[in-house]
Each structure stands twice: as structure tokens, then as C-alpha cells.
Amino acid sequence: MASTFPTFVELVARKTHSPDNLANCTISTCAISSSYYFYRVSLSANVAFLVLFSLSLIGFVATYAFTRRAFAFTFAMSAGVILEVIGYVGRIQSHQNQWAQTGFLMQIVCLTIAPAFMAGGLYLCLRRIVYAFGPENSRIAPESYTRIFIPCDLLSLLLQAAGGGIASSATHTNKSPTSGDNIMVAGLAFQVFTLGVFILLCLDFALRTRKRYKSMGESAFDQNPLFIKLRHSWVFKGFLAALTLATICIFWRSVYRVVELAEGWTGNLIRHQWLFVGFEGVMVIVACFALNAFNPAFAFKEAMEGKGGLGSKKRERKLEREREKAVGSEVVSGSNSDVDGVKGGV
């Protein structure tokens, strides 16, 4: 009974404050439980994350500007990091006024959907890795990874964005955000499921590759000189480790947010700032910095072109048609030369 009473008081405090009264609240005049948070929002922690994510964004943009490689990956990661920056700006605004809706909604919507973009960046990398080791080591075709996971990621993103919009609209009209929150949780849960399947397929590919290597040696891998050089580079090995770390961090963070938001905006987990800092902020920034340090634009270098790239199949078919035309022209040219020779002989 004692543990239930404070929760009841907090809910009553929230319900009995009209939007006009809440707008005039300050830390000294209103109980913290009547705000949108159950704790004093830390200014130092959120400024630190704002700075770190801003540096990460600069890193992704600068890498693309320098290399002109991995556009799709850069777009996905940059979009996610931009949302992280906006979210932490919202939390900083909430430190100044914890009763203002704008800052609260900015952070809960933006920080919830941001890693969905980053997950898309992770999915884009696997096809290139499969080509680097050899498609025969994979249970499914390399292109199937993007064809399966990118649409799933988009669906997850749409659900989270739609849920965030509905919850935001409900909050602005002083209604319950439960329906929107449930849709956000559904999107997050689907993201966790998709990431889980992705991790299982990665493990399966790694085990199959290792098994074939033990029985066949280097011949188990693609013998393209470019891929041979790539596989032996320390930057590529670092990229594999970074991608593994980033995937685990995004997965762990997503599981935490599903459990947190499933309890609603007045649940138990959402009341603890240290959980949010550790399982949301730290997990995501570690994933971003890992991929900043071992960006695929640096890890793959020239191997970013051709197989494994976005639209690479279309480019390969175009090149094949051009080669066929060239061969056909040579055949026609040779035939004409033979005819001319016969005529000359006659």
C-alpha cells in the first residue's frame, strides 16, 4: 500500500494541474512529480550528449565529403544522429522548464525513433561483408539482406513516427497519450524482432564461413584480389568489430525502450534518469562513435564500388549489356572484314 500511495499522489498532481497552471510552474513552486518527468533533468549529462552527438554528426558528414563513398550508410546514420541532437536539445529545454510540453515531446519522439535510422545503416553493411567473404558462404543471396531488412526497418520507423505523432497530438489537447504510446511500443518491438533476426543471420553467416574455411582454407573465400587485400587489412577487421559492437548496443537500447515505454509515461523505469542515461544515451553514442572510427567508407575503400552497393545490380546489368554490344560490334566488324577480303580475292 505504501508503494502505491506515492504513485496515486503523483497521478492526481498531474491531473489537477491545468495546462495554464503548469505553464507557470517552477522547481520552487511545484512538485517535480507534477512535471513531465519524475526527476530533475540533468543539464550536464544532456549537454555532454548534445556535444558528443554533434561531433559524431560532423564525423559522418566529413567522412563522406572526404571519400565520396557510402552515401546510403552516411544518410541513415546522419539522419539518426540529427534526431539525437534535436532530442537532447529538447531535454536541455526541459531542464529549464520541466512543465513545458515542447521540450518533453521533442525528446521522447526524436530519441525514440532515431536508432531506427541507425539500424538501417547497419543493415546496409551486411551485403558488402557477404560479398567480401564470398556469397557462397551465405545462406541467402547478398541482395536479400537489404530487400528483407530495409523494408522492415521502414515499417518500424513509420510505426514509431506515427505513434509519436499521435501521442504528441493527444498531449497537446490534454488527452491521454496511451494509444500513441502503444503504437510506438509496437514499432520498437518490431525493431527489436528485426534486429534479433539480423543478429541470428549474422551469426549463421559467421559460423558457415568459419566452417568452410576450416575445410577449404582460403579457397572458401572470394578470390578477387581486391577482396583478398580487404580481408587482411586491420581497418576492415576493426570495422567488423565496430559493426558488432554497434549492433549489440542498438539492440540492447531498443529492448530497454520497449520495456520502458510499455509501462507508459508514468511507469517505473521512466522515473530513473540513470537508466535512461546508461541504456539510451551511452548505448547509442558508443554505437555511433564505433562506426565513426571504422566507417565503411574507410574500411572498404575501392570495394565500395560495384558488388554490394546500393543499385549495384542495376549497374552490373548495364555494364553487361554494354559488354555484349561491344562484343557484337567486334563480331560484325570482323565479318565485314572477311567479306571485303573475299571480294578483294575475287
pLDDT in tens, 74-132: 999 999 999 999 999 999 999 989 988 899 999 999 999 999 999 999 999 999 999 99
Q: What does each of the 346 residues of the chain score in pLDDT, given as a tens digit?
A: 444 434 433 444 444 344 455 667 888 888 887 888 889 999 999 999 999 999 999 999 999 999 999 999 999 999 999 999 999 999 999 998 998 889 999 999 999 999 999 999 999 999 999 999 999 999 999 999 999 999 999 999 999 999 988 988 887 777 888 888 899 999 999 999 999 999 999 999 999 999 999 999 999 999 999 999 999 999 999 999 999 999 999 999 999 999 999 988 888 999 999 999 999 999 999 999 999 999 999 999 877 775 544 344 454 455 455 555 655 555 545 555 554 544 444 3
What totals of helices (H) and strands (E) does the chain contain, helices first?
13, 0
Domain ranges for the chain: 115-309
Residue 221: left (phi > 0), alpha (psi -120 to 50), or beta?
beta
Q: What is the rounded CA–CA span in Å between residue 66 and residue 245?
A: 25
Instruction: Calculate helix-pair angle for 101-133, 234-262, nearest 10 degrees.
Output: 140
- The answer to whether the CB of 60 falls within 8 A of the CB of 81 is yes
The type of residue at 256 is Y
Amino acid letter, 282: V
Q: Which three cell numbers stand for residue 51?
A: 556535444
Backbone angles phi, psi at 8, to 5 degrees: -65, -45
The H or E element that residue 110 is part of is: helix 101-133
